[in-house]
Structure 1
């Protein structure tokens, strides 16, 4: 559980709405904002730089709302939440409620509103290559993930040389692992990783075959996802030393949510 910094009923006059007159004439919007963070350090130091300045938050919400015109409250809330999480490094999550007291519905009501919560998520990504300049491909993959809006790469393992997996005769691999904070959903993150693979000229011709760049989501928070094109945790991570060895460098105590074992425990079991 996180502590909260809260701003209640901040009024902003802006030009959001579906109807043309809403965009032209504008109307009042009322915001309630919560920023989730750990305030213990601030409580001990009594220094503003150790916290998030709620005066700055109120000014930012006002300016952002006035300068980013959209049609729907849902879009306004989504974009504002992401902008705030990217702006305030100490924030682990945010709640945005937008009320529209002058909603042109034509019926007696106090207001229409939308409320969302968004958080940073903790993802681990395996990276590998066994074609061409392997290190250059891995470096390209890391750099490309850094450049994804809504992603922060916090840790990168050493690159390790490993034998190919799956019985296909091919060159040795260079493998690594990354820890990433992300605002993207698992599917959105997968889509971005597949885009990066394509930019590295990845071709999927042979299952477990050679590839210029391979990017896999190994874990995402403590989510368990089983869908047609996405399984989290990665279905065979506990069987693969080329995943567990670099992952153990950056997250030895990370716990598999289904097997209830740490990465170090899984690696020790695999080594036998």
Structure 2
């Protein structure tokens, strides 16, 4: 099993969706990030500079969400993954999950979503 840094249930507000009211009113999106990274050097040296900051990952996801709007949550997930791999060279792979609890569909459900895995 590989080491990883993860963030669960990051709530972001965005204006993404195909329907005009989604772009006009906006809605909440929940993001999970799981980043594969060798944490041994940071853990052994107790050195913050040898890991990736959780806050930096959250801010990257937020900035990516705010740079839309995107029609598809697939695009939001892809952009977050690309930006993480571009900005943090220590991260080997990233899994991004985007959940959309207020999808404008006629069904009773908790959320819809996507999950992508991108590697170097």
Please tell me the TM-score bracket, short chain as reference.
over 0.9
Quick one: higher RCO (CA 8 Å, sep 6+), 1 or 2? 2
Structure 1's unaligned 5+ residue stretches are 121-272
* 2:66 aligned partner: 66
Aligned to 1:229: none
> What are the within-5 Å matches in structure 2 for residues 20-31 of structure 1?
20-31=20-31
Q: How far, CA to CA, are the matches of 1:85 and 1:91 in structure 2?
A: 6
Aligned to 1:87: 87
Secondary structure of the structure 2 residue equivalent to 1:106: coil
Name the TM-score, length of structure 2 as normaliser: 0.96
Indicate whether 1:97 and 2:97 are aligned.
yes
2:2 is the alignment partner of 1:2? yes
Tell me whether 1:18 sits opposite 2:18 in the alignment: yes
CA RMSD of aligned residues (A): 0.9
C-alpha displacement of 1:68? 2.5
User: CA offset at residue 74 of structure 1?
Assistant: 1.2
* Structure 1 residue 97 displacement after superposition: 0.1
Deviations for 1:161-185, whole angstroms, at most 9, x for unmatched residues?
A: xxxxxxxxxxxxxxxxxxxxxxxxx
After superposition, the C-alpha distances for 1:244-270 in whole angstroms (9 at most, x for unaligned) are xxxxxxxxxxxxxxxxxxxxxxxxxxx
For each residue in 1:59-103, what CA deviation from the matched residue of structure 2 results, as whole angstroms up to 9, or x when unmatched? 111121112321011111112111110011110000000000001
Task: Please say if residues 64 and 76 of structure 2, whose CA atoms lie closer than 8 Å, have aligned partners that are also in contact.
Answer: no
SS at the partner of 2:69?
A: coil
Gaps of 5+ in 2: none
Residue 14 of structure 1, CA deviation:
0.4
Larger Rg, first or second structure (1 or 2): 1
Query: How does the TM-score come out when normalised to structure 1?
Result: 0.43
Shift of 1:2: 2.5
Query: What is the CA-CA distance between 1:32 and the residue it aligns to?
Result: 0.5
Q: In structure 2, what is the equivalent of residue 119 of structure 1?
A: 119
Size of the aligned set, in residue pairs, is 120
SS of 2:59 mapped into structure 1: helix
2:7 alignment partner, SS class:
strand
Alignment of structure 1 residues 1-272 onto 2, 5 Å? 1-120=1-120
Which string of whole-angstrom CA distances, capped at 9 and with x for unpartnered residues, describes residues 167-218 of structure 1?
A: xxxxxxxxxxxxxxxxxxxxxxxxxxxxxxxxxxxxxxxxxxxxxxxxxxxx
